Amino acid sequence: MELSSTALGFAALGQPTRLELMRALLAAGPNGLAAGEAAQCLGVAPSTLSFHLRALEQAGLIAARRQGRSLIYAAQMHALRGMIAFLADACCAGRPELCGDMAQLLNPGEREPPMPSFNVLFLCTRNSARSIMAEAVLNKVGEGRFQAFSAGSDPSPAGPMPEVIAQLSALGHDVSLLRSKGWGEFSGPEAPSLDFVITLCDILSGQACPDFGATVTTAAWPLPDPAKFTGNAAERASLLNELYAGLRRRIEIFVSLPVATLDRLALKARLDELAYPRAAQRA
């Protein structure tokens, strides 16, 4: 842990209410406490508690997750352990194991808990261009927090468009596993549990996109179909580059959203805004 982040952590704890709050969250264990429960436990007003929760969260000492209408806060043990490790690093000439019980607190074998991950399915009619492109882009920019898949309502027997594969490969995307497939692969008991389904069909052209119902957060980002691009090779390549840039812009905004803390309605509203990404960036 760096000096600046360690100092920020100790500064956040250098206040009696926050120190008491941290002790309460540690006592609650990994399941954490709802904000209301923590306020009641400490006997402070919810508005006052919110101020202290924000300070601890900004220091990386606690994290929140959405559960129904409540935010559940839990202590981040790896961050607290990192602060102690920073202090003990020079202990006994760089041998903290000589510091008695301090070494037990450090527990160097423990790794940081993984960040929440989300499964995203992109859909279009043929699963040969738009959704293939989105799958590759999200798997690259999602930084392990997002696992992307793609499918089509009427998948292309010929597979992904060669122009799309060539473009993605040239831009450094892994194309080895990309293939056209039906959305039925994601509706059975063996299918991955989906968090988001985003349709990329050009709805105004009357293309059919399947409805996955109310079990996942859905959105529609209607984009033009590259199979309908006309002109010479250079003109088609230019249109394909524009499609890629627009799709990547949407996905980069998507991965920056506080997905774990937004409720479902708010999250869907933000995703729907990305049908028009410039407006979403201004909001």
For the beta carbon of residue 78, count every other beta carbon within 10 angstroms. 15
Q: Does residue 112 lie within any of the structural domains?
A: no
Q: Does residue 113 lie within any of the structural domains?
A: no
Six-digit token string for 56:
């601890």
**Domain end among 81, 106, 131:** 106
**Domain end among 106, 136, 159:** 106
Q: Does residue 24 lie within any of the structural domains?
A: yes
| pLDDT tens-digit map of 38-61 | 888 899 898 898 899 989 988 889
Asked whether residue 142 falls in the same domain as residue 31, the answer is: no
> How would residue 245 be classed by pLDDT, with cut points 50, 70 and 90?
very high
User: How many domains are contained in the chain?
Assistant: 2
Q: Does residue 46 lie within any of the structural domains?
A: yes
3-state secondary structure of 257: coil
Q: Does residue 221 lie within any of the structural domains?
A: yes
The domain that holds 233 is classified in CATH as 3.40.50.2300
**Domain end among 40, 75, 106:** 106
Asked whether residue 99 falls in the same domain as residue 185, the answer is: no
The domain that holds 101 is classified in CATH as 1.10.10.10
Q: Does residue 189 lie within any of the structural domains?
A: yes
pTM: 0.61
Q: Does residue 225 lie within any of the structural domains?
A: yes
Identify which has the larger pLDDT, 7 or 211: 7
Q: Does residue 111 lie within any of the structural domains?
A: no
Q: What is the mean pLDDT of the chain?
A: 83
| pLDDT tens-digit map of 183-209 | 888 877 777 888 899 999 865 445 555
3-state secondary structure of 25: helix
Asked whether residue 246 falls in the same domain as residue 193, the answer is: yes
Looking at the DSSP assignment, which residues form a beta bridge with residue 120? Answer: 148, 196
Q: What are phi and psi of 260, to 5 degrees?
A: -70, -20
Q: Which amino acid is at 96?
A: P
Asked whether residue 98 falls in the same domain as residue 169, the answer is: no
HEC-encoded secondary structure of 246-265: HHHHHHHHHHHCCCCCCCHH
Domain that holds residue 27: 3-106
Asked whether residue 198 falls in the same domain as residue 62, the answer is: no
Asked whether residue 125 falls in the same domain as residue 78, the answer is: no
d(CA 229, CA 97): 66
CA angle 249, 253, 256 (to 5 degrees): 145
